[in-house]
């Protein structure tokens, strides 16, 4: 049985690493940043943003599509002084947009950025061909049939694959340090324990000369100290099911299967994840990749939002919400006297907006 998180030495080792901002270090890393690659990344993201960013808010129309926790809503409105429809509409829109983008950004990262790397390799990061073939068999099936088939999927948890030299790298990409939950811990642990031999066998068959396999849990931002520890729980569970640490002293958290010693499992977080994407067999040479990603994102947002007319469309959505919120207000004379006396205009407005969480139509 695994030791509790507070006493397990592996948890302590994995949480001990600190990332301290150092301006001089960043300046040094900038010397390795490739302008052409940044431009390529930005161009890829502009195309993605122009289509997918509007999709994050265009599908929402009336107040019913902006339903949120009414109790938190009332508290937020009071603390943030959201006393009129314009301010409240802006708040509702921005909060929902943020949540929608946080949910979808992992796929944006995969689609626009990951496929541009490694820096030096014959193969780029792509969908695992085995996963493509597996999912192709689901075409034509009903939704229920597809869901049933996915239960037995071998490649479902793998997002990207690449080969460098005699080693293949598979990665499951999660957007951030709090993305993985307990259900996913169980699912990913089961997927690795159940399928790593199949992944290795398919690799040897499809890539002659490849004899080793790395399976990497990747978090696109955060640090070792700021995660919810779920990625580490996966490693601890694997230690109970056929894996051991390769070198606990010098390489804590890198596991290897006991049977063949050819399959390794570990996690990469934030800067290290991007270094891994940049050159998985030589991460020490690509510590600058997270800078390329951030520069490309900043450049793409500067042109992509304007090209898609997103700012004007957002303003129109917010105004639409403000108009709808204004219509929610009750005539004071229609309310009981004690409500009129005890509640201010702002309080009645907050009360009315909170009521939207309980209705589908007419709001």
Model confidence at 73: pLDDT above 90 = no
- For 352, the enclosing helix (H) or strand (E) is helix 345-354
Give the span between the Cα atoms of 104 and 132, in whole angstroms.
Answer: 21
The residue that leads in pLDDT, 343 or 162, is 162
pTM: 0.83
Q: Domain span at residue 221?
A: 120-285
Averaged pLDDT for residues 103-129: 82
In the DSSP assignment, the letter for residue 221 is S
Q: What is the pLDDT of residues 128-137, one digit of tens each?
A: 999 999 888 8
Residue 3 is assigned to a structural domain of this protein: no
Q: Residue 326 class from Cβ within 10 Å (0-12 exposed, 13-18 middle, 19+ buried)?
A: middle
Model confidence at 39: pLDDT above 80 = yes
Averaged pLDDT for residues 316-331: 80
Residue 7 is assigned to a structural domain of this protein: no
Please check whether residues 112 and 163 belong to one and the same domain.
Answer: no
How many structural domains comprise the chain? 2
Please check whether residues 126 and 253 belong to one and the same domain.
Answer: yes
Q: Residue 187 class from Cβ within 10 Å (0-12 exposed, 13-18 middle, 19+ buried)?
A: middle
Model confidence at 3: pLDDT above 50 = no
Model confidence at 2: pLDDT above 70 = no
Please check whether residues 180 and 88 belong to one and the same domain.
Answer: no
Please check whether residues 183 and 199 belong to one and the same domain.
Answer: yes
List the CATH number of the domain containing 347: 1.10.3250
Q: Residue 212's pLDDT is what?
A: 97
Reported as a pLDDT band with limits 50, 70 and 90, residue 322 is confident
Model confidence at 1: pLDDT above 50 = no
Q: Among 106-110, 199-203, 342-346, where is mean pLDDT lowest?
A: 106-110
Reported as a pLDDT band with limits 50, 70 and 90, residue 209 is very high
In the DSSP assignment, the letter for residue 126 is B
| Residue where a domain stops, chosen among 255, 285, 315 | 285
Give the span between the Cα atoms of 179 and 222, in whole angstroms.
Answer: 11
Q: Residue 79's pLDDT is what?
A: 83
């Amino acid at each position: 049985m695994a030791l509790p998180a507070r006493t397990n030495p592996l948890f302590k080792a994995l949480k001990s690493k600190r990332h301290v901002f150092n301006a001089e270090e960043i300046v040094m890393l900038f010397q390795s940043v490739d302008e052409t690659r940044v431009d390529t990344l930005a161009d890829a993201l502009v195309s993605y943003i122009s289509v997918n960013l509007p999709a994050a808010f265009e599908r929402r129309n009336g107040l019913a599509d902006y339903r949120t926790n009414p109790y938190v809503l009332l508290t937020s409105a009071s603390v943030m002084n959201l006393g009129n429809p314009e301010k409240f509409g802006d708040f509702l829109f921005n909060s929902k947009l943020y949540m929608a983008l946080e949910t979808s950004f992992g796929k944006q990262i995969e689609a626009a950025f990951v496929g541009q790397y490694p820096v030096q390799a014959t193969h780029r990061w792509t969908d695992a061909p085995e996963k493509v073939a597996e999912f192709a068999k689901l075409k034509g099936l009903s939704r229920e049939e597809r869901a049933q088939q996915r239960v037995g999927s071998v490649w479902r948890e793998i997002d990207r694959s690449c080969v460098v030299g005699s080693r293949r790298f598979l990665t499951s990409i999660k957007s951030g340090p709090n993305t993985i939950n307990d259900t996913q811990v169980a699912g990913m642990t089961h997927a690795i324990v159940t399928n790593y031999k199949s992944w290795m066998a398919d690799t040897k068959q499809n890539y002659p000369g490849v004899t080793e396999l790395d399976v990497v849990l990747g978090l696109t931002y955060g640090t070792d100290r700021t995660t919810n520890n779920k990625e580490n729980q996966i490693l601890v569970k694997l230690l109970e099911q056929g894996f051991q640490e390769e070198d606990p002293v010098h390489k804590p958290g890198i596991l290897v299967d006991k049977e063949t010693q050819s399959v390794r499992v570990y996690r990469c977080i934030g800067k290290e994840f991007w270094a891994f994407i940049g050159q998985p067999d030589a991460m020490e040479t690509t510590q600058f990749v997270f800078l390329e990603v951030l520069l490309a994102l900043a450049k793409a947002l500067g042109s992509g939002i304007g090209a898609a007319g997103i700012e004007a469309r957002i303003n129109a959505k917010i105004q639409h919400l403000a108009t709808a919120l204004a219509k929610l207000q009750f005539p004071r004379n229609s309310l009981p006297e004690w409500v009129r006396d005890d509640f201010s205009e702002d309080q009645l407005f907050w009360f009315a907006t909170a009521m939207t969480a309980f209705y589908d139509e007419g709001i």
